[in-house]
Amino acid sequence: MNGAIMMDGHTVVETALPVVVPAPPARPEEYDAATRATLEHIDHQAVRTVAENRPDSTQNGYAQDWASWMKFCASSGVPPLAVTPGTLVMFVEWLWTQPGWKKGTYTAPSTVVSPAPSSPPAPSTE
């Protein structure tokens, strides 16, 4: 009797009911006011952190990456906030078709998705 137990001489069959978890809101405007306020605070902190703590070249790189994402979204019909494993893979594949800054090259997906190092860097002896 797989999945069955006996109680007071009666067989009770246990069944596994699926757990239904509601999907999170798909768009920021669907979030409740508290969540939107938290996200707005995080966004402002992130912008300030980048502006105050990253060199201009890094800030320019972030801007170019965002522009690439927005161009991809516009050309593929994907909403900019529809980030899923599938849209990220599709974006990386799309990058392979985009001209790079140097003639005859293409945008390198490794600038967006880089593998984790196989081992931590050795400590400095200086």
**CA distances from residue 103 to 83, 106, 107, 108 in whole angstroms, order as listed:** 30, 8, 11, 13
> Between the CA atoms of 97, 103, 108 and 112, what dihedral angle is there, to the nearest 10 degrees?
-100
Give the dihedral sign, CA 112/117/123/126. negative
Please give the backbone phi and psi of residue 51, each rounded to the nearest 5 degrees, phi first.
Answer: -60, -35
| Spatial contact of 107 and 100, defined as CB atoms under 8 Å apart | yes
Of the candidate ranges 35-49, 56-70, 101-115, the one whose mean pLDDT is the lowest: 101-115
- pLDDT, position 64: 87
Is 80 exceeded by the pLDDT of residue 107?
no
**CA distances from residue 104 to 13, 24, 56, 97, 98 in whole angstroms, order as listed:** 66, 43, 27, 11, 10
Of the candidate ranges 29-33, 34-38, 55-59, 61-65, the one whose mean pLDDT is the lowest: 29-33
| Spatial contact of 4 and 13, defined as CB atoms under 8 Å apart | yes
- 109-123 tens-digit pLDDT: 555 554 444 545 555
Is pLDDT larger for residue 19 or for residue 11? Answer: 19
